[in-house]
């Protein structure tokens, strides 16, 4: 009989078409009076819409969120929050915007309401990340958890197919690692399997019919479940590699996860038979790693590190960083194994 610990994270979720319309009511429920809206430059129009919904509770829009959460961006956002005397922030966008909100929660105590527009799943985790001097530092703290998450599938209908695809594969990576995490549980395993199943069905439908609201809702539900898995378990080799690649080489976050997912799965799943069986059920395939590679190819996702602009001579530096502070992993990772894995991911073999 297996023993385990499962600790549910405190999170309120409002899910459904039109959920954005409850933004003001949710901030009122939290007692927030002065809310700074956060977004990337490309999401300014949606952030302005959110600010309009908040009416007098909105104290401005900070539209400079950036990938990997540079500390300089956090400092600029903190100055804007102090100037506006904000007591909370509304993160409208993907993982970059939610990551910025988490940094403000961690360092400055701002309450966060998240309105995800991608399938990154960051809004479901207590994991924060900050990048400084080409190194990405990560940690866990419940203080960074959004108080409320508004999942509105209508906001993802305009998400371009390539971004939808890489964002969804990023979410699947959270669930894959959760299935073999040392602190997993039957609850997490059930969420992970269903999350992968939801996304494996929804992403091809989105690729064929980007405006399909049912497919968008299924993908958002899958991302929610996969993100919750990441929030409840320890990260492994996949996430360590992606954090190092992102911080050291400034690679695009979701695309890096999409590239690494099948390679790391092929490396780790032979040492994790229960995880392999769960993924085989979720993907309807005897070889889950191969199925993940086929899915990525079918969706037109990037397949190699070389395709993301990584130079071959960068691989050694990446391996050095990964081995300097390794994460828990079901299969031991030495220099030879890591070099071979990175070579395969770089060349596509």
User: Taking the alpha carbons of 43, 82, 125, 26 in that order, is the dihedral positive or negative?
Assistant: negative
Cα–Cα distance measured from residue 83 to residue 175, given in angstroms and rounded to the nearest whole number: 40
Q: What is the pTM of this model?
A: 0.92
pLDDT at residue 56 is higher than 90: yes
**pLDDT band at residue 1, thresholds of 50, 70 and 90?**
low
CA atoms within 13 A on the CB side of 19: 23
% of the chain at pLDDT higher than 70: 100
For residue range 320-341, list pLDDT tens digits in order: 999 998 899 999 999 999 999 9
Q: How confident is the model at residue 136 (pLDDT cuts 50, 70, 90)?
A: confident
In the Cβ-directed half-sphere of 278, how many Cα atoms lie within 13 Å? 25
Interaxial angle between packed helices 186-208 and 273-283, expressed in degrees from 0 to 180 and rounded to the nearest 10: 30
pLDDT at 7: 83
The reported pLDDT for the residue numbered 264 is: 98
SS3 129: strand
Alpha carbon dihedral 172, 177, 178, 182, in 10-degree steps, equals 180
Q: Residue 181's pLDDT band (boundaries 50, 70, 90)?
A: very high
pLDDT for the residue numbered 54: 98
Q: Rounded distance, CA 197 to CA 201, Å?
A: 6
* Average confidence (pLDDT) over 49-65: 98
Distance CA 218, CA 199 (A): 7
- Among 136, 132, 43, 126, which residue's Cα sits nearest to residue 90? 43
The DSSP H or E segment spanning 89 is: strand 88-93
For position 3, what pLDDT does the model report? 86
pLDDT of residue 208: 97
Show the tokens assigned to 48. 């302005």
Give the integer Cα–Cα distance in Å for 74 and 99: 10
Q: What is the pLDDT of residues 303-322, one digit of tens each?
A: 999 999 999 999 999 999 99
How confident is the model over 234-272, as pLDDT tens digits?
Answer: 999 999 999 999 989 999 989 999 999 999 999 999 999
According to CATH, the superfamily of the domain at 161-347 is: Dehydroquinate synthase-like - alpha domain (1.20.1090.10)
Give the domain 12-156 fold: Rossmann fold (3.40.50)
Q: What is the per-residue pLDDT for 81? A: 98
State the pLDDT confidence band at 349, using cuts at 50, 70 and 90: confident
Instruction: Tell me the pLDDT tens digit for each residue of 83-121.
Output: 999 999 999 999 999 999 999 999 999 999 999 999 989
Report CA-CA distances (Å) from 74 to 65, 82, 131, 333.
8, 12, 10, 34
Domains of the chain: which residue ranges?
12-156, 161-347
As a whole number, mean pLDDT of residues 132-138 equals 86
Looking at residue 120, what is its pLDDT?
A: 86
160 C-beta neighbours (distance < 10 Å), count: 8
Pairing between strand 88-93 and 35-38? Answer: parallel
- Average confidence (pLDDT) over 282-296: 97
Would the pLDDT of 10 be above 90? no
Q: What does pLDDT average to over the chain?
A: 95
Cα four-point dihedral sign 51, 54, 56, 62:
negative
């Amino acid at each position: 009989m297996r023993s385990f610990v499962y600790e549910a994270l405190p999170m309120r979720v409002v899910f459904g078409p039109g959920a954005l319309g409850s933004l003001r009511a949710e901030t009122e429920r939290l007692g927030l009076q002065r809310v700074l809206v956060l977004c990337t430059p490309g999401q300014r129009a949606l952030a302005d819409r959110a600010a309009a919904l908040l009416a007098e509770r909105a104290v401005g829009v900070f539209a400079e969120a950036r990938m990997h959460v540079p500390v300089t961006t956090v400092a600029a956002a903190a100055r804007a929050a102090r100037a506006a005397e904000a007591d909370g922030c509304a993160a409208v966008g993907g993982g970059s915007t939610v990551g910025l909100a988490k940094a403000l929660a961690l360092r400055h105590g701002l309450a966060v309401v998240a309105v995800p527009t991608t399938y990154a799943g960051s809004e479901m985790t207590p994991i924060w990340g900050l990048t400084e001097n080409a190194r990405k530092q990560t940690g866990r703290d419940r203080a960074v958890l959004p108080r409320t998450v508004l999942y509105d599938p209508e906001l993802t209908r305009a998400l371009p197919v390539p971004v939808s695809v890489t964002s969804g594969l990023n979410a699947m990576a959270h669930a894959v690692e959760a299935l073999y995490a040392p602190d997993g549980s039957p609850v997490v395993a059930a969420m992970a399997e269903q999350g992968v199943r939801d996304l494996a069905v929804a992403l091809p439908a989105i690729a064929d019919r980007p405006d399909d609201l049912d497919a968008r809702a299924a993908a958002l539900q899958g991302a929610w479940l996969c993100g919750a898995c990441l929030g409840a378990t320890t990260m492994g080799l996949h996430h360590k590699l992606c954090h190092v690649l992102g911080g050291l080489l400034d690679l695009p976050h979701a695309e890096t996860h999409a590239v690494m997912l099948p390679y790391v799965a092929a490396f780790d799943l032979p040492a994790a038979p229960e995880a392999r069986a769960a993924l085989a059920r979720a993907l309807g395939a005897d070889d889950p790693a191969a199925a993940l590679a086929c899915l990525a190819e079918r969706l037109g996702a990037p397949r190699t590190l070389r395709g993301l602009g990584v130079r071959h001579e960068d691989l050694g530096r990446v391996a050095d960083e990964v081995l300097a502070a390794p994460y828990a992993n079901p299969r031991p990772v030495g220099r030879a194994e890591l070099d071979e894995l990175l070579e395969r991911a770089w060349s596509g073999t």
